[in-house]
Amino acid sequence: MTEKTSPQLEQELAAADRQPWYQLAFPPLLEQGYQLATGEQRLRRYRLFGAVGIVVFMLYGLVDKFYLADAYDRIWIWRWLILPGMGAAAIIGSYWAPLRRCYELLVVSVSTCCVLALTWFFSLSHMPTAQHYYGGVMLCLVFIMFGLRIPFRLACYSCFISMSYLGWVLLGWHFLDEAIRSLIFILVISSVLLGLLGLFQLEKEARRSYLLAQALQRDHRQLQQGFKQLQQISSIDGLTGLFNRRYFDQQLHKVWDARLHNKAGIALLFVDVDYFKKYNDSQGHQMGDDALIRVAQVIGRHAQPAHGCAARYGGEEFVLLLANCSVGQATRLAEQLRQDVEALGLPHPSSLCSQVVTISIGIAVAHASINQKPDWLVSTADAAVYQAKKHGRNRIVTMHSCQPLPN
């Protein structure tokens, strides 16, 4: 089964759940999955129980010498050599990959041959004890159905062939009373019908269990997908599409802890849209939202190549967290970011520093071994952007990178 449930498989799961009680086979794709999922288990069962069945079949050859004494010279080679050899060849053939596609048909064929041979054995004898061999026929058929657990459809074929031959043999057994022959046939066919009913129920339950497992896996995948979507929704800012502050705080702690292992500095760019309140008042909130979206797109575009975490910190404030970043790299990226926002050309007539929307950026960089808490990086970058705004806005201010403190 695929990791993602295909629409066709979804339809087949629903169809299989509604199929009538007497139907065993699933729709094609689901049936293929069932055969693949249970194939190895069935193959192991055929090998194990097949070997046991061969041994038991041969042991009953000890009984033939006494119960079928008049026919023993003709049947011993079949009981001891030919039929066990066919069974052993079938077991060995299970290890040959090209044969596995039709292997169940081979198992049924060999098993049915054993039942037919057993019926043939006592058909050759005229001893009164031969009539007890119908019990051996019943035992073989029950073994095929519940030992080998062959598919119900194939079991029906095997039982039909076996019962037809048994009925033909009993009709020719004139040395036995007709009532006894009728009783033997009724006992055998009754046992076979009850066995087929039980086999049908077993296969139905096995298929129902598989169907339930597939439905549970599908529901589990849907829950996982829903959980991932929920995580994404809970970590994304609804307006700009960048990460939200909650997600940024999580990433900050993660990157802060990882810097010791990576032995590299980390940088934080704190971005503030200049005179955004005046922009909202003069242009309206809808235009203000559009401006924030455009600025966020520029920040997100610069974050991707640097594998940074771009987030909306609140209102018109944004942050860009960069791992493995030096002061020079952070400064160059910040300048490019400032220029790109200015190049958007969003009119801002009420701005005191430009005719278009601009940003001020504060940069803080921490060495790998800094002995501070992660909040230091945010407060330092915030102080840097405050200095940028104090000195005229539309500019970049970099705070000195913090040196390791003595322990």
Q: Is the pLDDT of residue 17 over 90?
A: no
Q: How confident is the model at residue 73 (pLDDT cuts 50, 70, 90)?
A: very high
Mean pLDDT of 20-33: 90
Q: At which residue do the structure tokens 């991932």 appear?
A: 228
CA nearest to 282, candidates 385, 357, 386, 360: 357
Q: Are 369 and 262 in contact (CB under 8 A)?
A: no
What's the rounded Cα separation, in Å, for the pair 52 and 44? Answer: 13
**The residue count for the chain:** 407
pLDDT at res. 258: 81
C-alpha dist (Å) from residue 124 to 69, 173, 206: 10, 10, 41
pLDDT at res. 248: 93
Q: What value, to the nearest 5°, has the Cα angle with vertex 174 and ends 171 and 179?
A: 75
Q: At which residue do the structure tokens 């549970």 appear?
A: 216
Neighbours of 278 (CB within 10 A): 14
Mean pLDDT of 11-25: 86
Q: At which residue do the structure tokens 């065993």 appear?
A: 24
Give the helix, strand, coil percentages of the chain, each rounded to 5: 70, 10, 25
Instruction: Kindly calculate the radius of gyration of the chain based on its CA atoms and give it in whole angstroms.
Output: 40
Q: Are 405 and 372 in contact (CB under 8 A)?
A: yes
CA nearest to 104, candidates 56, 173, 38: 38
Residue 192: its H or E element: helix 178-235
pLDDT at res. 5: 53
Mean pLDDT of 112-118: 95
**Taking all residues of the chain, what is their mean pLDDT, rounded to a whole number?**
90
Q: Minimum mean pLDDT among 232-246, 252-266, 298-312: which range? A: 252-266
Neighbours of 30 (CB within 10 A): 22
Whole-structure pTM value:
0.65
Domain residue ranges of the chain, discontinuous segments joined by + = 7-219, 245-398
Q: Is the pLDDT of residue 407 over 60?
A: no
- The encoded tokens of residue 195 equal 């066995």
Mean pLDDT of 72-80: 95
Q: Are 401 and 392 in contact (CB under 8 A)?
A: no
Buried b (16+ CB within 10 A) or exposed e, 119-149: bebbbebeeeebbebbebbbbbbbbbbebbb
Q: 253: Cβ–Cβ under 8 A, 6 or more apart, which residues? A: 374
What's the rounded Cα separation, in Å, for the pair 255 and 180? Answer: 88
C-alpha dist (Å) from residue 249 to 30, 269, 341: 46, 14, 25
Q: Is the pLDDT of residue 132 over 60?
A: yes
* Topology, domain 245-398: Alpha-Beta Plaits (3.30.70)
Mean pLDDT of 186-215: 94
- The encoded tokens of residue 121 equal 């054995």
Residue % of the chain over a pLDDT of 90: 67
Q: Is the pLDDT of residue 37 over 50?
A: yes
What's the rounded Cα separation, in Å, for the pair 232 and 238? Answer: 11
What's the rounded Cα separation, in Å, for the pair 299 and 256? Answer: 21
pLDDT at res. 228: 81
Mean pLDDT of 250-272: 85
Q: How confident is the model at residue 307 (pLDDT cuts 50, 70, 90)?
A: confident
Most confident of 198-207, 252-261, 397-406: 198-207
356-405 tens-digit pLDDT? 999 999 999 987 767 778 888 999 999 999 999 999 999 999 986 554 43
pLDDT at res. 238: 86
Neighbours of 113 (CB within 10 A): 17
3-state DSSP assignment of residue 208: helix
pLDDT at res. 402: 52
